């Protein structure tokens, strides 16, 4: 078995390349060899054809595995929220068997597909390879070598050539998939956004050809996403985690009226393609505004919830400290009774051993009952156990007097150290 690689780096191939045939990978090989059928071994063409057992086995394994990995990445390592998901599920599961499904979305990051498309489906659906999408990718990106060509072909990726127009082999392949009732996903802008998804590019007329040249008008479902520019920024080689992605799925785009006008010869074929592209662009621009409003509302809601949580947390801490300063503890009665009993036993043993004269101010009857209510070492309890309150009041008073005399209103470490030394008899 011999394959002549030829000058596949000198893309594009010659104009006399063979037309689309039933052998899908034969067409792919013609793309990157830049020659013709004579350069490809017949045995190789048979083994890697679209209907060959080898490619079917690879596809049956690779597509579900990659789809579920992407689903876990988007919903497990990132936070993805989808609005209008039932519209896509209805079109995917309940459309007629002979009717194709065409989904459209904005293109922000290099891995919008398969990451975003996998995040829209349940893991049960992702296990069925035949229900998943076909998509398009530029030959100078995904089909630059034999291994990459076979890899992306096994992942249901169709090759298209930049600058070759809408009447090329890759578009014919996508149209063939729609005629078979399959799902095809495309980026109607034709390329990634240059400003990180802030604006939507012009929709290319190729979407008009896929819609109008199909045997049956496919179901057209648009969706817009926000946040992929943070998951995989321009220039980044690996996707990031802990990011928020929001997806909005829109209602089906209806084009029956345009098709009727074409049949009545009110529109030419080219004008029909442009009209479909314009309608798709108008819908996607409207959805982009809706999506931006949803994202803004989500941010306001998260900020409001965060502030409310902090306020409740601060209120709870302050209430806890306030109760402890009064000598009460926020614990169960059983814990308080057990602690009080243990504390009374310790005090009785200290008094019986002749150390009653050495007990601290905490053993005074006024404070011993308060201390018995504390079931754990709290902030107030630690402050009360730190020293005599009279000494603490004296320390605070001398600090105030010192500030008043020296006009120094500094509260740094040095100031408090000096006050502490003065409290120990070293003088002010």
Residue of 206, 222, 204 lying closest to 214 (CA atoms): 206
Question: Which among 232, 280, 231, 233 has a CA at the least distance from the CA of 255?
Answer: 280
Residue 203 is given by DSSP the state: P
Q: Tokens 């806890």 identify what position?
A: 320
Q: Could you tell me the residue ranges of all domains in the chain?
A: 26-287
Assess whether pLDDT exceeds 70 at residue 114: yes
Q: Do the Cβ atoms of 408 and 415 come closer than 8 Å?
A: yes
Is residue 49 within 8 Å of 20, Cβ to Cβ? no
Name the token pair of 242.
């802990």
Element (H, E) at 284: helix 269-325
Question: How does pLDDT run across 181-232, given as a tens digit for each residue?
Answer: 999 999 999 889 888 888 999 999 999 999 999 999 999 999 999 999 999 9
CA 28, CA 234: separation in Å to the nearest integer?
A: 28
Q: In this prediction, what percent of the chain has a pLDDT beyond 70? A: 62
Q: Sheet holding 183-186: strands in order across?
A: 79-83, 244-249, 219-226, 101-105, 183-186, 134-138, 157-160
pLDDT value at position 291? Answer: 96
pLDDT tens column, 368-389:
444 444 445 555 555 555 556 6
Tell me the pTM. 0.67
Give me 50's structure tokens: 């679209």
Biggest CA–CA distance in the chain, Å, is 115
Radius of gyration of the chain from Cα atoms?
36
With contact defined as beta carbons under 8 Å apart, do 37 and 19 qualify? no
Q: Which letter does DSSP use for residue 199 in this model?
A: S
Residue 194's pLDDT is: 85
Phi, psi of 244 (to 5 degrees): -105, 125
Q: How far apart are CA 367 and CA 381, in angstroms?
A: 11
Cis peptide upstream of residue 114 (ω within 30 degrees of 0): yes
* CATH, domain 26-287, list 1.10.1400, 3.40.1130, 3.40.50, 2.40.50: 3.40.1130
- Centroid of chain to Cα 394: 58
Mean pLDDT, range 36-51, rounded to an integer: 45
């Amino acid at each position: 078995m011999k394959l002549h690689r030829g000058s596949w780096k000198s893309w594009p191939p010659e104009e006399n390349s063979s037309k689309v045939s039933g052998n899908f990978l034969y067409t792919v090989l013609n793309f990157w060899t830049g020659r013709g059928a004579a350069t490809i071994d017949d045995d190789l063409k048979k083994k890697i054809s679209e209907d060959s057992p080898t490619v079917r086995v690879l596809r049956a394994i690779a597509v579900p595995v990659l789809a579920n990995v992407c689903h876990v990445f988007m919903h497990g390592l990132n936070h993805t929220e989808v609005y209008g998901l039932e519209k896509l599920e209805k079109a995917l599961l309940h459309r007629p068997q002979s009717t194709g499904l065409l989904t459209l979305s904005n293109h922000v990051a290099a891995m919008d597909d398969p990451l975003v498309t996998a995040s829209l489906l349940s893991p049960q659906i992702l296990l069925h390879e035949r229900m998943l999408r076909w998509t398009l990718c530029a030959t100078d990106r995904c089909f630059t070598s034999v291994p990459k060509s076979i890899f992306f072909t096994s992942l249901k990726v169709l090759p298209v050539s930049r600058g070759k127009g809408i009447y090329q082999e890759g578009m014919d392949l996508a149209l063939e998939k729609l005629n078979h009732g399959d799902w095809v996903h495309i980026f109607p802008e034709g390329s990634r956004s240059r400003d990180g998804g802030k604006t939507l590019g012009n929709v290319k007329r190729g979407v008009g050809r896929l819609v109008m040249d199909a045997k049956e008008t496919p179901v057209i479902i648009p969706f817009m996403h926000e946040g992929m520019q943070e998951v995989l920024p321009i220039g980044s080689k690996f996707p990031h985690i802990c990011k928020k992605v929001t997806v909005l799925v829109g209602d089906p785009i209806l084009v029956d009226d345009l098709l009727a006008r074409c049949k009545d010869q009110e529109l030419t074929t080219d004008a029909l393609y442009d009209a479909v592209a314009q309608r798709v662009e108008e819908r996607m621009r409207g959805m982009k505004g809706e999506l931006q409003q949803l994202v803004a509302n989500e941010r306001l809601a998260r900020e409001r919830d965060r502030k409310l949580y902090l306020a409740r947390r601060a209120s709870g801490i302050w209430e806890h400290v306030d109760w402890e300063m009064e000598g009460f503890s926020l614990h169960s009665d059983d814990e308080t009774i057990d602690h009080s009993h243990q504390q009374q036993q310790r005090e009785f043993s200290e008094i019986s051993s002749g150390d009653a004269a050495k007990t601290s101010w905490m053993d005074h009857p006024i404070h011993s009952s308060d201390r018995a209510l504390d079931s754990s070492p709290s902030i107030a309890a630690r402050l009360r156990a730190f020293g005599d309150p009279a000494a603490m009041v004296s320390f605070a008073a001398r600090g105030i007097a010192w500030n008043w005399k020296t006009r120094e209103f500094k509260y740094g470490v040095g100031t408090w150290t000096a006050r502490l030394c003065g409290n120990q008899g070293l003088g002010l």
